Chain A
Amino acid sequence: DIVLTQSPGTLSLSPGESATLSCRASQSVSSSYLAWYQQNPGQAPRLLIYGASSRATGIPDRFSGSGSGTDFTLTISRLEPEDFAVYYCQQYGSSPQSFGQGTKLEIK
């Protein structure tokens, strides 16, 4: 099974700054089947990025994804107050699909 490790566990930044979130896989993720989700407290996860770098419908271009193989990155530029949430990566190229443990982005 592929294990996804996200870092850091918590990231403290101010609005207007940029955030870089990392997701490292224990094995290569086939065909970049890597997604990122945002989850606000008490809400369901929302798809942000799929295929490692494609933005989902309605997601602002402040969110960008990159990476391949075992190392993937979610970058959020010009942080807005609504961006402070928990972010999860998911690999869906190998069975069973799996999620990372999450990175909490908090206001500094």
Chain B
Amino acid sequence: EVQLVESGGGLVQPGGSLRLSCAASGFTFSSYSMNWVRQAPGKGLEWVSYISSSSSTIYYADSVKGRFTISRDNAKNSLYLQMNSLRADDTAVYYCARGPSGVKSRFDPWGQGTLVTVSS
């Protein structure tokens, strides 16, 4: 069974840092691009970042560019999101999602999400 499990969320003060992880199983992780998508409480979905299967291509939403860093470790079947200089409007559930078709790809499947709360 294809599975994605996020971890690392929690409460952090404005200006702080947090590192999210996404553990993949049930498929050949190194063959797929991956994404982070977030959802603020009661709001819609916002794409955050993309990384290709080999890490050669990376994209960020303008809202996080320069503050967030996406990475992956194919040997560990893991995806990461390093979040620095966090702001209140970064508060959201963060999902990792597989992209079956590279950069122009729908997201399937999604993990269950991890909640990040930025507050003093």
Which residues of A are in contact with B by a Cβ distance under 8 Å?
33, 35, 37, 43-47, 50, 56, 88, 90, 92-93, 95-102
Stretch from B9-17, B75-83, B106-114 forming part of the interface with A? B106-114
Q: Are A100 and B44 touching (Cβ within 8 A)?
A: yes
Residues on the A chain within 8 Å of B44, using CB: 88, 99-102
Distance between Cα atoms of A20 and B33 in the complex (Å): 32
A-B contact pairs, 11 of them (CB 8 A): A33-B104, A44-B112, A46-B109, A46-B110, A47-B106, A47-B108, A47-B109, A88-B44, A92-B105, A96-B61, A98-B47
User: With contacts A44-B111, A44-B112 known, is A50 near B46, CB below 8 A?
Assistant: no
With a CB–CB cut-off of 8 A, which chain B residues contact A102? 44-45
B29 at the interface (CB under 8 A from A): no
The proximity string for B residues 84-120 relative to A, scoring 1 for CB distances below 8 Å and 0 otherwise, is 0000000000010000000111111111110000000
Total residue contacts A-B, CB cutoff 8 A: 50
Out of A33, A90, A96, which one reaches B107, CB within 8 Å?
Answer: A90
A interface, by DSSP: helix, strand, loop or mixed?
A: loop
Q: A97-B47, A98-B47, A100-B44 are in contact. Are A90 and B110 (CB under 8 A)?
A: no
Closest to B103 in A: A95
Seed contacts A44-B113, A45-B107, A90-B45; 15 additional CB < 8 Å A-B pairs: A37-B45, A37-B107, A44-B110, A44-B112, A45-B110, A46-B109, A46-B110, A47-B106, A47-B108, A50-B106, A92-B104, A95-B103, A99-B44, A99-B47, A102-B45
- Contact-residue bracket for chain B: 10 to 19
Most B CB atoms within 10 A — which of A88, A92, A95, A97? A97
Please name all residues of chain A whose beta carbon is closer than 8 Å to the beta carbon of B61 when the two chains form the complex.
96
CB distance from B106 to the nearest CB of A (A): 4
Residues of B within 8 A of A97 (CB): 47
B59 proximal to A (CB < 8 A): yes
Contact with A along B41-85 (1 / 0, CB 8 A): 000111100000000000101100000000000000000000000
